[in-house]
Amino acid sequence: MQKLLQSLDMPNLANLRSRPKIQAIKPSKGNTVFYRHDGDAFQGLRLAVGKQTKTWVMSKRISGKVRSITVGRWPEIANGEAAMDVAREKVAALEAGTDAAATQVVTLMDAFESHIARSSAKPETKDNYRLQIKNHLADLFGKPVERITLPMLEIAIKGKSPSTQLHLAQIIRMAFRRASTLRRCFDVSADLEVMEKHKPASHVLFDPQETWPAVDLILGRRSLVHRTAWLTMLFAGFRSLNTRTLTWDQVDLERKTITLNEMKNGMTRTFPVADVLIEALTRLPHREGYVFPAESRTGHIHQLMAFTTTVGHGRAAHEVKVLRQHDCRRLFTTAARRARLPDYIINELRGDTPKSVQDIYDQGSANHEDANKIADRIITECGLTPDFVLDRIKSGA
């Protein structure tokens, strides 16, 4: 540092306003040579010329100490005016304590981890965010925050499915919001748009006016844990993530209730559960930790694969999906309406966000009888009887 400051005291003179003049400066044959502008402009700014590169450097006293700040390289920063603009931003960041060193936020990943450290999201949710970054955004999140541009963000999510684009855009925005708070930098993600609009499917893959195949498909699954997880989605209407991450301290087998914490809408609610589902849950061999454990990184079932069937013969044969995870929530809602339950009961059992003043004041109108009505209707639509399904669950057949 001392040698650097000594060399800065005796720089060569050059026209740093002109890009052609800067380009004409020959590379150094030995040690780095420093140039300052021939005039009164650009106080403290120097151009460091080495054997291969030319770098803008600002010398500035900050907090009583002279600091040498690397501004950037030429020709990316074309002349002294542009270099001074960047230098002023860096000096301001140093003086305010919002630079990379002070905040320890260099890359977008640093900003994301800073956000996650303050987040109240469940560990499973945080792990899912990190997995999405690893699979889709690793290069982007490894870049310094100030070098990331909007086109980079758009390229990072381009070509993904609409739902994946929405999820990745959400992760990018939360990281950039944290970066802009700590580094006082421009939030590039504010203008990030998902180009392909997500069109949520509201239909199942079979004719709902015919007999539903759901219960037969689920009871035919060999794994007791997976089978019970599917029954939970079907008879409680829960989303896959809430089901897979369910723990036994959320389940009350005596009161026949399940409590979901931080659902998709951020709410926590306790749900009455149908007898058929309670019977299925009692068949599980354990009562601690995850209800649906697995030998995975998270400790619970990572994925519930859709049910498929073979269509065609010979070389033309191929697998098609017949029942997906979210179809269970669709069937739960359809069965509730066919059972003629009022909307406010259905909304409560679905865990929907309150929509009216009465919804906000309601302390829980849905009860165990309502849950049983829906379960019975689902079983009826599947062409079966409640007693038959209970016997299948008890026997494990």
Domain boundary among 43, 64, 96: 96
Q: Do residue 128 and residue 49 come from a single domain? A: no
Half-sphere exposure of 387 (CA within 13 A, CB side): 0
| Tens-place pLDDT, residues 365-380 | 999 999 999 999 999 9
Q: Do residue 256 and residue 318 come from a single domain? A: yes
Q: Do residue 306 and residue 369 come from a single domain? A: yes
Q: Are 143 and 111 in contact (CB under 8 A)?
A: no
Q: Do residue 181 and residue 328 come from a single domain? A: no
Average pLDDT over residues 57-76: 79
Find, among 324, 347, 338, 341, the residue nearest to 381 by Cα: 338
- pLDDT over threshold 70, residue 94: no
Q: Do residue 9 and residue 112 come from a single domain? A: no
In the chain, the number of structural domains is 3
Domain assignment present for 203: no
Domain boundary among 74, 96, 118: 96
| Tens-place pLDDT, residues 164-173 | 888 899 999 9
Average pLDDT over residues 3-27: 75
Q: Which of 157-166, 225-234, 258-267 has the highest mean pLDDT?
A: 225-234
Average pLDDT over residues 91-110: 66
Domain assignment present for 294: yes
Please report which confidence band the pLDDT of residue 194 belongs to, taking 50, 70 and 90 as the band edges: confident
pLDDT of 317 reads 78
- pLDDT over threshold 80, residue 97: no
pLDDT of 67 reads 73
Q: Which two tokens mark 179?
A: 């970066």
CB-count burial class (<10 Å; 0-12, 13-18, 19+) for 110? buried
Please report which confidence band the pLDDT of residue 6 belongs to, taking 50, 70 and 90 as the band edges: very low
Q: Are 386 and 377 in contact (CB under 8 A)?
A: no
Q: Do residue 163 and residue 294 come from a single domain? A: no
Q: Do residue 365 and residue 284 come from a single domain? A: yes
pLDDT of 197 reads 58
Domain assignment present for 199: no
Residue 60: φ, ψ to 5°: -150, 140
Q: Do residue 122 and residue 169 come from a single domain? A: yes
Domain assignment present for 196: no
Domain assignment present for 208: no
Domain boundary among 48, 73, 96: 96
- pLDDT over threshold 60, residue 4: no
| Tens-place pLDDT, residues 214-258 | 999 999 999 999 999 999 999 999 999 999 999 999 999 999 999
- pLDDT over threshold 70, residue 200: no
Domain assignment present for 205: no
Average pLDDT over residues 112-137: 86
Matching residue, tokens 């926590």:
268
Q: Do residue 79 and residue 120 come from a single domain? A: no
Secondary structure string (H, E, C) spanning 232-298? HHHHHCCCHHHHHCCEHHHEECCCCEEEECCCCCCCCEEEECCHHHHHHHHCCCCCCCECCECCCCC
Domain assignment present for 201: no
Average pLDDT over residues 138-161: 88
pLDDT of 83 reads 87
- pLDDT over threshold 60, residue 8: no
Please report which confidence band the pLDDT of residue 89 belongs to, taking 50, 70 and 90 as the band edges: confident
Task: Say if pTM beats, i.e. exceeds, 0.75.
Answer: no
Q: Do residue 262 and residue 296 come from a single domain? A: yes
Q: Do residue 152 and residue 177 come from a single domain? A: yes
- pLDDT over threshold 90, residue 388: yes
- pLDDT over threshold 80, residue 1: no
Quote the CA–CA distance of 78 and 35 in Å, as a whole number: 15
Q: Do residue 179 and residue 302 come from a single domain? A: no
Q: Are 260 and 273 in contact (CB under 8 A)?
A: no
The CATH number that applies at residue 29 is 3.30.160.390
Determine the structural domain holding residue 369 and report its residue range: 214-395
pLDDT of 277 reads 97
Please report which confidence band the pLDDT of residue 397 belongs to, taking 50, 70 and 90 as the band edges: low
Domain assignment present for 102: no
The CATH number that applies at residue 171 is 1.10.150
Residue 62: φ, ψ to 5°: -130, 125
Round the average pLDDT of the chain to a whole number and report it.
86
Residue predicted with more confidence, 319 or 97: 319
Quote the CA–CA distance of 78 and 74 in Å, as a whole number: 6
- pLDDT over threshold 50, residue 5: no
| Tens-place pLDDT, residues 269-314 | 999 999 999 999 999 998 999 999 998 888 999 889 999 888 778 7
